[in-house]
Structure 1
Amino acid sequence: MLALAASADQLSPHVLAGAVVAAARARGLPLTMPGEVAEHPGRGVRAQVDGRTVEVGRRPGPAPEAGWARTVLGRAVLDGTAVSWVTVDGDVAGAVLLRDPLRRDAPRTLRRLRAAGFRRLVLLTGDRAEPAREIGTVLGLDDVRAGQSPADKVAAVRAEGERDVTVMVCDGVNDAPALAAATVGVAMGARGATASSEAADVVLTVDRLDHLADAMEIARRARRIAVQSAAVGMGLSLVAMGFAAAGVLPPAAGALLQEGIDVAVILNALRALGPGHGTTHPLAPGTERLLHRFSAEHGTLSAALPLLRAAASRLVTDPGPDALHAVRRAHAVLVAEILPHERAEETELYPALAAPLGPEATAPMSRAHAEIERLAARHGTHLALAGDAARPDGARPDGARPDGVLPYDRLEDVLAILYGLHTVLRLHFAQEEQNYFTLAATAPGEIG
């Protein structure tokens, strides 16, 4: 289903279509070049894929009434995701849930902005209220305004501007008016539209939010050096003029002294070209390579995490042989991919980070590793006790004893383990990405 949807979406410029295609390619799915592609604004894409008419996007009418479709809608509401329905030859055949993840550098950037003196941080977004509020909670924002149109954003920026100096950061073409309305407009130039870049006062040429904090530090340091150079230069010149007026300093010597003052001021101003000496710490090249390596592994493993939740869902809806197979498949991924990754982090990455960050910085993450190991071992024990599960050794409350079912008295614990692993791993991955992996993306050889 994902391969069909991605094949139809390949030629669409929409950001959601790009996410579907990226997910399919990350899983190594073979894609077919679509034909007769038609883009319907606000609805999605219609294309011919392998002789079938495939539509991906919003349903023009009511949502399907099938049980699986109701499950999809319920999960979308609970998880704050968007639903892209997949229709094949006129029949709704599946759905893709899309979640807009938080930039891994956002929490660290906002902490730096708070430290730099920003007193109020507001999120203006055209997205739905549920994911916007979740992001606001995670980031500790002062206000979150969802469902904002371009005109709403302009009005909000002007209202904030009446209270204090405002900085607006965005990357969409619809945000150009809001950028122009702010005291300082900052455009994300790597992905943002040309109109936004032209309306902005500052353009971040790399699509990283933490460079806003870097720009703040660069601007403040440059201003501090400029004011220092001007004050010292004029002060020395005034002193020299006083000596010259008193006849103590001859004209020729005064001219040479003024040239010396000018050179000293210029040399001091050139310090602005060098790196700052704020909170940077040395980061060994080997540690930086480890950060890049484990960051790449996170991208692969994140695609495997849904297997844990899918296995639990199968156990709830149809606890038969297929569900047990899904549980065993999830355990195989745990043993073959996730646990080796966590152990390698514990033995390779965390010791390397202890030097620049201190051992206490990685201690909470080590505790998470221990919990992941414990849950995985408990999960394996359940499967070992179940054996081949040719026949159940315990009955369900309704008396049914279908082949290939986990004993009912252990089913609840298996569900708790699967849901617990899914939650712990998602949280653990997010914490590592925000606290550690963003360090390798700063200046070579340094962390901020």
Structure 2
Amino acid sequence: MKLHIREILRRKHSRILIGFAATGLVAGGLLSWSENPGEAGWVWSAATVPVLLALFVQIAVSLRRGDIGLDIVAALSMSAALAFGEPLAANVVAMMYAGGQLLEDFAQGRAKKEMTALMGRVAQTAMRYNGDVLQQVPIADIKAGDRLLIRQGDVLPVDGRVATDVAVLDLSALTGESLPQNIMKGGEALSGAASAGAAFELVAIRPAAESTYAGIVRLVEAAQSSKAPMVRMADRYAIGFLALTVTIAAVTWLVTQDTIRVLSVLVVATPCPLILAVPVALISGMSRTARMGVLVKGGGVLEALSQVQTVILDKTGTVTHGQATITEIRTRAGFAEADILKAAASLDQASGHVVATALIKAAQSKGLALSAPVQVVETPGTGIEGIVDGRKVAVGGNSFVAERSGNVRADDLLQDIDPAAMTVAVGIDGNVAGIIVLQDQVRLDAKPMLDALRRAGVKRLVLASGDRSDIAEKVGKQLGFDLVLGDLSPDAKVAAVRSEVANGPVMMVGDGVNDAPALAAADVGVAMGAHGTASSSEAAGIVLLVDELAPLVRAMAVARRSRMIAAQSVVAGLGLSVAAMGFASLGFLPPVQGALTQEAIDVAVILNALRALR
């Protein structure tokens, strides 16, 4: 919140400065036209002073950080203009400088926000047992040994052990695993996971501040704080341009002893092409990427995107859809696929399990009319049984359905099933009717996107997943990654990002809470915002607003073009400024005309920078 307030104050500060400069320029002009040149000079001087004072403060802050910026040239030109009796030239320079500051502040203000969304996911209260009575308490009051009730859909507030028979948990935000997991009695359940099944009891094993989810939040904050602030491209040329300006001014004084010529050199040297053109080009590029559904949070992020050499991608929800879908239905004689799916989906309408949701969606997509189930009995984490259209239906694990089918198992139907897949057995009227195979599918656009990244200049592709190593290896081999890493914890993903820095700027793409620290640690973090978690969107510098990967490749092309145009603008602007300094040193450009010439250079450079919008 403090960072956000600081950005707001900075923008207001820039608006105030440009207001002073513009008001003084207009008021002084009116006085000059009304034949009050002396009063006009005082007005122009008064309008310049606030901008100059603010500039001195900024220079002092930069020097304390060890940065020598081009702001020094602007300060020299304004100071010299006031000292040599050229207030109009000073006011024109102040106007140009204040306008550049406003544009730059706008570009930096698009940078990523604080981790408010990540903190927002942390549960604020929990249902705690006090004897046999439930009480809602703040999570800060929870201690090790407290017994909690976790309802369906609740996010676990603390790490704990399951105290009832089974807990069905959605761990995708923590581990990247798309399929729900059954945690049996006595098993450990991690904070940040969501309850995907019936309510269960949890015994806290550590307070919230020491739990897994709080650790992830701290990882993100540490990764963000370790990154250097955005450095203006213009400042990379600061020392050389400053030295050149002082040299030309000094030579002009030694040769001519003419203070007006020296002033003209300093005025023409005002580095507004650098201050203005770079943010305009980057903002233009950000506008273009936004129209593609790619939100880039700052000019520094766009510049970093243009230089990426290594791309690290999470598996679940990034190169895969992150949701289990039916890949196959295997049937026994006498049963049709549609009949099995309809019976299972009809019964699962009474279940809150995430796999039940996948079956229902699949049946509806095939146009199957579902019937209302009756006499439903669900055994959490194991299966569900009931009556559908007068027939006994059981849906669940192989053992669950076998117990209701004369202990006849479906082992023959399970042969050659991909170990990464999940299977659901279906029993009808005491017989095993078949099995339904579900799997998290690789995105159709994943391979073309990876190929396009290589064509765009990316030298190394890494798959980093919290899922099992064998599953990650299979996906990585299918898509042609250079390196595949599985079974990664959030801090291991951060380590993977940092280990790749030696190969060049790193981009990390992910969608879950477990990806947030790595997104913050990477040079460029990209979050799948359409279906990803809010925390990963806040940690990332780029958010994909559409559930596609292809726009990311196009955004990289836009970023590289925008950076190229910004660099062109810098070189052209500096070249024209140096030429103008030469004319000024020869006496062909008086101070005011020199300031106006520099303004013309600014306009030309900005128009060039706006090409990034096309």
Aligned to 2:530: 190
Instruction: Give the aligned residue type for 1:6.
Output: A
Q: 2:411 aligns with which of 50, 70, 77?
A: 70
* Alpha-carbon distance in 1 for matches of 2:546, 2:590: 54
Give, as a single letter, the amino acid of the residue that structure 1 aligns with 2:412. Answer: T
Is residue 2:368 matched to residue 1:29?
yes
Equivalent residue for 1:173, pick from 492, 499, 513: 513
Trace 1:104-123 onto structure 2 (pairs within 5 A): 104-123=444-463
Relative contact order (alpha carbons < 8 A, sep ≥ 6): 1 or 2 greater?
2
How do 1:213-292 residues align onto structure 2 when only pairs under 5 Å count? 213-274=553-614
SS of the aligned residue for 2:531 comes to: coil
Counterparts of 1:57 and 1:207 in 2: how far apart (Å)? 31
- For each residue in 1:117-161, what CA deviation from the matched residue of structure 2 results, as whole angstroms up to 9, or x when unmatched? 222211123444555333322321112233444444334333334
Shift of 1:67: 7.7
Aligned-residue offset at 1:105: 1.2
* 1:231 CA drift (Å): 2.2
The question of whether the paired residues in 2 share the 8 Å contact of 1:34 and 1:47 is answered with: no
Q: Distance in 2 between matches of 1:14 and 1:188?
A: 24
- In the alignment, does 2:434 pair up with 1:101? no
What TM-score comes out, normalization by structure 1 length?
A: 0.52
- Please give the alpha-carbon distance, in whole angstroms, between the structure 2 residues aligned to 1:37 and 1:247: 96
> How many angstroms apart in 2 are the aligned matches of 1:86 and 1:180?
44
Structure having the higher strand fraction is 2
1:31-70 to 2 correspondence within 5 Å? 31-32=370-371, 40=380, 43=381, 46=384, 50=388, 56-58=395-397, 69-70=410-411
Write out per-residue CA displacement over residues 383-431 of structure 1, whole angstroms, 9 at most, x where no aligned residue: xxxxxxxxxxxxxxxxxxxxxxxxxxxxxxxxxxxxxxxxxxxxxxxxx
For 1:259-307, what per-residue CA distance to the aligned partner results, in whole angstroms no more than 9, with x for missing partners? 2211111111111111xxxxxxxxxxxxxxxxxxxxxxxxxxxxxxxxx
Q: Structure 1 12/63 Cα, relative in aligned 2: closer, same or farther at 3 Å?
A: closer
1:203 Cα deviation from its structure 2 partner: 0.3
Contact 2:425 2:432 in 1 (8 A): yes
- Shift of residue 62, structure 1, vs aligned partner: 11
TM-superposed deviation, 1:188? 0.6
Secondary structure, aligned partner of 2:460: coil
Which residue identity does 1:26 align to in structure 2? S
In structure 2, the partner of 1:370 is none
Counterpart code for 2:362: A
- Distance between the aligned counterparts of 1:63 and 1:149, measured in 2? 36
Q: Partners in 2 of 1:111 and 1:229 — Cα distance?
A: 32
Residues 163 and 258 (structure 1), Cα distance of their counterparts in 2 relative to 1, 3 Å cut: closer
Deviations 1:214-252 (A, max 9, x none): 121121111111121122112212221221121022344
Counterparts in 2 of 1:108 and 1:56: CA distance versus 1, 3 Å: same
Which residue identity lines up with residue 460 of structure 2 in the other structure? Answer: R
Q: Is the Cα contact below 8 Å between 1:46 and 1:53 reproduced in 2?
A: no
CA contact (8 A) 2:393 2:428 kept: yes
The answer to whether structure 1 residue 20 and structure 2 residue 359 are counterparts is yes
Residue matched to 2:541: 201
* Distance change >3 Å, CA 206–CA 95, structure 1 → 2: same
Size of the aligned set, in residue pairs, is 271
Shift in alpha-carbon separation, 1:44–1:189, aligned structure 2, 3 A: farther
1:3 corresponds to 2:342: yes
Maintained 8 Å contact 1:127/1:146: yes
Further displaced range: 52-61 or 3-12: 52-61
2 CA distance for matches of 1:159 and 1:60? 45
Which protein has the larger Cα radius of gyration, Structure 1 or Structure 2?
2
Relative distance call for 1:44 and 1:121 in structure 2 (3 A) is farther
After superposition, residues 345-424 of structure 1 pair within 5 angstroms as none
Task: State the Cα RMSD in Å.
Answer: 3.6
Residue identity over aligned pairs, in percent, reads 51
Contact 2:509 / 2:519 at 8 angstroms: preserved in 1?
yes
Match of 2:483 in 1: 143
Describe the superposition over 1:82-139 as per-residue Cα deviations: whole angstroms up to 9, x where unpaired. Answer: 2123467998653211233321111111111112222221112344455533332232
1:61: Cα distance to partner? 7.4
Instruction: Check 1:119–1:9 CA distance in 2 against 1; reply closer, same or farther (3 A cut).
Output: farther
**Are the structure 2 counterparts of residues 13 and 67 from structure 1 closer, same or farther at C-alpha, using a change threshold of 3 Å?**
closer
Once the two structures are TM-superposed, the CA of residue 38 in structure 1 deviates from its matched residue by: 6.6
Partners of 1:173 and 1:38 lie apart in 2 by: 31
Cα 1:60–1:146, aligned 2, differ >3 Å: closer, same or farther? farther
State the TM-score, normalizing by the size of structure 2.
Answer: 0.39
Determine if contact 2:382/2:400 at 8 Å carries over to the other structure: no
Change (3 A) 1:140 1:57: same
Instruction: Give the Cα–Cα distance (whole angstroms) in 2 for the partners of residues 259 and 37 of structure 1.
Output: 79
Matched, 1:81 2:421: yes
> 1:174-210 CA distances to partner (integer Å, 9 max, x unpaired)?
3223322323211011111111111111101011111
Give the corresponding residue for 2:319. none
Q: 1: CA distance between counterparts of 2:379 and 2:522?
A: 34
5 Å matches for 1:290-369? Answer: none
Give 5+ residue unaligned stretches, structure 2: 1-339
Q: Is the 8 A contact 1:3 1:24 kept in 2?
A: yes
Q: Distance in 1 between matches of 2:402 and 2:471?
A: 21
Distance 2:370 2:348 in 1: 10
SS at 1:84 equivalent: strand
User: Residue type matched to 2:600 in 1?
Assistant: G
